[in-house]
Amino acid sequence: DVKVTQSSRYLVKRTGEKVFLECVQDMDHENMFWYRQDPGLGLRLIYFSYDVKMKEKGDIPEGYSVSREKKERFSLILESASTNQTSMYLCASSSAGGGLAKYYEQYFGPGTRLTVT
Amino acid sequence: QKEVEQDPGPLSVPEGAIVSLNCTYSNSAFQYFMWYRQYSRKGPELLMYTYSSGNKEDGRFTAQVDKSSKYISLFIRDSQPSDSATYLCAMSPLTGGGNKLTFGTGTQLKVEL
């Protein structure tokens, strides 16, 4: 059973703090993704990674960075948290092979609700 | 204009009703279409996927794609309270986009007893 875990379910941080969100998957997936989910805006891709130490910007990378030092772990970093980064953050992973269905099926973690005050 | 439009609801139906959830899109390159279900305080999970146009059925769920109208639908027959969730459509162009997905904003569904 695929499992994607995120380090915290709820997090409250102050403006200007450096914030680390951790994601771990146990299915040996090559691809990992970070999204934020906001009412009325849906899921928006922040960054994704196709391999260890590889990263690519998504649609809204400003204010975020990522790190992937190990295949199973993908970290999202908010260098200096701001109130407009208050959101639900979702991590996902997917396989790089196995046909179209496997390629596109993303497995999501439970999310981290981050509040920046 | 968003690439993918989805009515946010909320949609409230009685148990046993047929539910129709829809998305429209503007990018004619989209060829792979998916529906995710997200229960409250959980991450989305894949429900169904279809490739190009046509229908696909899985139990009480039917996914339909009309590429000429850039319109996709998810039908739920004999809806149950356990179907209460937010339904997100997602799509990809297959080539040139890697395996990134573009998501709709989600439709919140409540099935009442």
How does pLDDT run across B24-56, given as a tens digit for each residue?
Answer: 999 998 988 999 999 998 999 999 988 878 899
The larger pLDDT score, comparing residue A95 to residue A23, is at: A23
Phi and psi at residue B72, in whole multiples of 5°?
-125, 150
Tens of pLDDT, residues B66-103: 999 999 999 999 999 999 999 999 998 876 556 788 99
Q: Is B8 on the interface with A (CB under 8 A)?
A: yes
Q: List Cβ neighbours of B107 (8 Å cut-off, separation of 6 or more).
A: B6, B7, B8, B9, B10, B11, B21, B86, B87
- Judge: A108–B45 Cβ closer than 8 Å, yes or no: yes
Min Cα–Cα distance to chain A from B4, Å: 10
CB contact under 8 A, B44 and A108: yes
Nearest CA-CA distance, residue A17 and chain B, Å:
25
Average pLDDT for chain A: 92
pLDDT at B96: 56
| Phi, psi angle pair for A102, to nearest 5° | -70, -35
Residue A32 has pLDDT above 60, yes or no: yes
From B42, B45, B99, residue closest to A103, measured CB to CB: B99
AA identity, residue A94: S
**How many contacts, defined by CB atoms under 8 Å, are there between A and B?**
56
